[in-house]
Amino acid sequence: MTERRTECEHYLIVRLAAVGDVVMASTLARRIRDERPGARITWLCGTKVAPLVEQFADVDDVISIDERRLLRGGPIARTAELVPLWRQLLKCRFTRVMLLHVDRRYRVVTAPLLATPTISLSARDAHGAMNPIPGRYFGDEYARLLDGLGHEGPIHDHYPLARLRPFAVASASERVAPRVAIVPGGARNVMRESGVRRWPVEHYSRVARELVADGVEVTLVGDGADAWVRPSFDGITVDDRIGSTSLPETVALMSASDLVISHDTGPMHLARLANAKLLALFGPTMPTQFVVESDRTTVLWGGAHLPCRPCYDGREFATCRDNVCMTSIDPAVVLATARTLLNRA
């Protein structure tokens, strides 16, 4: 049998925006690498997530763009971002563009590559095929783009996230107590803030207080914009890492933790990338779209009694003044589940 030659294939993956989307989209890079080992893979992403994408062992090159200026800047700012990008893309001679956005506004970033075969996420194409299909895990939907929208099922197993380049992780033997990382903020990206996804910070502080009383080392994880959560942890002995760790450092921290507790936000996906034990809290979003439950990931989905759950359509959330689906997740249940998972560890 003649071996398929892939040396000349050069894929451009375009996925900007949120950390969680980038992590889930890494399944495509891994699938390309596994099935076409000689191909070259370049990823176009936002400047914020570029340090993370650079850790994907399945990606050869990373091109970044300031997506805030691109999406929210004026005409001059957008032009200043696009022109150098277009020049760089034209030099690369891509053989296939994988555009992992449904929103057609993102097509502007690959405008000079109109002659290059492009496969993109699509709500519905001329033949009725669509990707993503509502309710499916997004990681699988990204990966199946390698087959185009006409992928033939079934998919027998979930596509795995990207492999990571080696990084230093503190040994568990270096700690005298178990460590739990909690993510009390987040739920925002360059386009919008989705506070409806957050579990109340006072619930997190209650769980943190009880875990510290158990002798557990509790670490707060988040970026600089999450500083508003700090007053809720006054008087609790926590390791405050908010705003002090890069995305790769956060992955390393989670990899060295015995458990991560998070609602549906970027660091929750970093925990999965780190293969950390995760307790994921959901409300307005459907868990099956964002995580794969396993012996490493446990899900608590609040609001089972609510006919309005889930209320996320893939882009926007319904207007909600009281996210009961999240507030109804009892801190006592989260604490009991965390203790059980720590005992298993």
| CATH, residue 68 | 3.40.50.2000
Are 225 and 132 contained in the same domain? no
- Residue 125: predicted pLDDT: 60
Q: Is residue 160 part of a domain?
A: no
Q: Which of 5-19, 119-133, 146-160, 269-283 has the lowest mean pLDDT?
A: 119-133
**Which domain, by its residues, includes 314?**
172-344
Total Cβ atoms within 10 A of residue 118: 16
pLDDT at 345 over 80: no
Is 108 found in the same domain as 181? no
Which pLDDT value is given to residue 207?
Answer: 98
Give the number of domains in the chain: 2
Please choose, from the candidates 100, 277, 311, 91, the residue with its C-alpha nearest in 3D space to the C-alpha of residue 179: 277
Q: Say if residue 276's pLDDT is above 60.
A: yes
pLDDT(53) > 70: yes
Within a domain: 83:
yes
Assess if residue 3 is contained within a domain: no
* Pair (95, 212) in one structural domain: no
Same domain, 340 and 258: yes
Q: Are residues 192 and 116 in the same domain?
A: no
Looking at the fold, whether 177 and 311 belong to one and the same domain comes out as yes
User: What is the rounded CA–CA span in Å between residue 4 and residue 39?
Assistant: 11
Same-domain pairing of 198 and 123: no
Write out the DSSP string of 167-187: -----GGG-SS-EEEEE-S--
pLDDT band at 2 (very low <50, low <70, confident <90, very high): very low
Each residue of 127-169: pLDDT tens digit?
566 788 888 999 999 999 998 866 777 888 999 999 999 876 6
Percent of the chain with pLDDT over 90: 70
* Boundary of a domain, candidates 147, 164, 195: 147
Q: Of 113, 147, 181, which residue sits at a domain end? A: 147
Q: Is 9 exposed, middle or buried (0-12, 13-18, 19+ CB in 10 A)?
A: middle
List the beta bridge partners of residue 301.
Answer: 282
Per-residue pLDDT tens over the stretch 172-186: 556 678 999 999 998
What is the Cβ-side half-sphere exposure of residue 11, based on CA atoms within 13 angstroms? 29
Residue 152 in any domain: the answer is: no
Same domain, 87 and 194: no
Output the pLDDT for position 190.
46
Same domain, residue pair 131 and 66: yes
Instruction: Give the mean pLDDT of 36-62.
Output: 96
Please, where are the H alpha helices in 217-256?
A: 247-255
pLDDT in tens, 183-198: 999 866 545 567 888 9
Same domain? For 32 and 65 the reply is yes
108, 218: one domain? no
The verdict on residue 164 lying in a domain is no
Do 125 and 241 reside in the same domain of the chain? no
The answer to whether residue 161 is domain-embedded is no
Q: Is 189 a domain residue?
A: yes
- Output the pLDDT for position 221: 96
